[in-house]
Amino acid sequence: MERSENDSTKKKINANNTISQRVTSFFRHFNNDLAIDLGTANTIIFKGNRIELNEPSIVAYDNNTNKIIAVGRNAQGMIGRVHKDITICKPMEEGVIANPYVAEGMLRAYINRVSNGSWARRIIVGVPSGITEAGMRIMRDSCEHAGAKEVHLITEPMASAIGMGLEVLEPKGNLIVDIGGGTTEIAVIALGGIVCKESIKTAGNVITKSILQYFRNRHNLEIGEATAEGLKIAGGSAYKMDKEASVVVKGRDIVTGIPKSIQISSVDLRENAINPSVKIIIDAIINLLVKIPPELASDIFDRGLWLTGGGALLRGLNKRIEEVTKLPVSIPENPLLTVALGTGIVLNNLKLYRNVLIKQSPYL
């Protein structure tokens, strides 16, 4: 009799657990909580346990109606090919919203895409550590107007550290260098907070513009932004390489207006177009190192620094930083996604990581 009652109890428990799992699965399917890396170059959205969207932060809109006609890759494909009635706009500059109206439209389009038209209940957004209160207000307003009921912000270095699996809540120092499109974020993190930081506006976009300027000034050759970005990826480096290469560059002669091509070496590209910006980034790292408290400096001497963001993909940059700072430099497996992954981890573990979020000012 007793065994029968126990069996009956176990069956009820198993049945309740099965129902609970189904209910949890049902609500998880309709859970529209989102983690967003709203970057100058790309917007990445994390939902549930994976990256749901990774698109360029670019919008095309009709000048006559002010209606958005394309976002992301569709808008990117229009660059350099539009007529006077269409404008291509990048609503993010230097890591913050420069055009709230366009940014809001882009966010709404992306949120609708990943949420199947439903409004997001909660959104967490990664922002530069040097963002102003006005910038935070614009960011929150844009997300709320795009459909979010609750908006939280987290600094990009903190999100990157969490996304790389570092123990940010422990009394250990972690030095993060996050080189994005608009800003380079350098921060020392310990006990769930930023101890000291540097945020500079020299980052991936500045390097691309330096390449444009180099060809214009040195070779009288005008090239497009997409060409300059391709050169940075294909032939760019920050340190002498074992095998240097030469690249053919096509553009328009500034003097004659006739299309032409030239051939340059990767050494010329590095020394004349890329290294000036790299030096500014390394100087900013050194400026931060002198501010670090002695105990945390000891941690960083042992553990080195973490290089992340799109700029971490520049060949030889880790070796150049190691040579100057004498610190070991580590790069995560996918440096482009660390902010989005870290923001997603915080979203899914909000109770644990609530204190790492930016505290909202009562005046915002």
Which residue in 261, 258, 282, 270 sits closest to 214, CA to CA?
270
HSE (CB half, 13 Å, CA atoms) of 16?
Answer: 6
- Give me the pLDDT at residue 95, please: 79
* Domain architecture of the chain: domains with CATH: 29-160+339-356 (3.30.420.40), 166-331 (3.30.420.40)
Q: Is the Cβ–Cβ distance between 124 and 91 less than 8 Å?
A: no
Structure tokens at 153: 């912000």
Q: How far apart are CA 9 and CA 6, in angstroms?
A: 5
- Give me the pLDDT at residue 48, please: 85
| Torsion sign across C-alpha atoms 173, 175, 176, 182 | positive
* pLDDT tens for the 364 residues of the chain, in order: 444 544 554 444 454 444 434 434 434 444 689 999 998 899 999 998 899 999 999 999 999 998 999 999 999 989 878 889 999 999 998 878 888 889 989 988 998 888 876 777 899 999 988 888 888 998 898 888 888 889 999 999 999 999 999 999 999 999 999 999 999 999 999 999 999 999 999 999 999 999 999 999 999 999 988 899 999 988 899 999 888 888 899 999 999 999 999 999 999 999 999 999 999 999 999 999 999 999 999 999 999 999 999 999 999 999 999 999 999 999 999 999 999 999 999 999 999 999 999 987 654 4
Task: Dump the DSSP string for 304-345.
Answer: -EEEESGGGGSBTHHHHHHHHH---EE--S-GGGHHHHHHHH
Could you give the 3-state DSSP secondary structure of residue 296?
helix
* Amino acid of residue 102: V
- Give me the pLDDT at residue 298, please: 92
- Give me the pLDDT at residue 324, please: 96
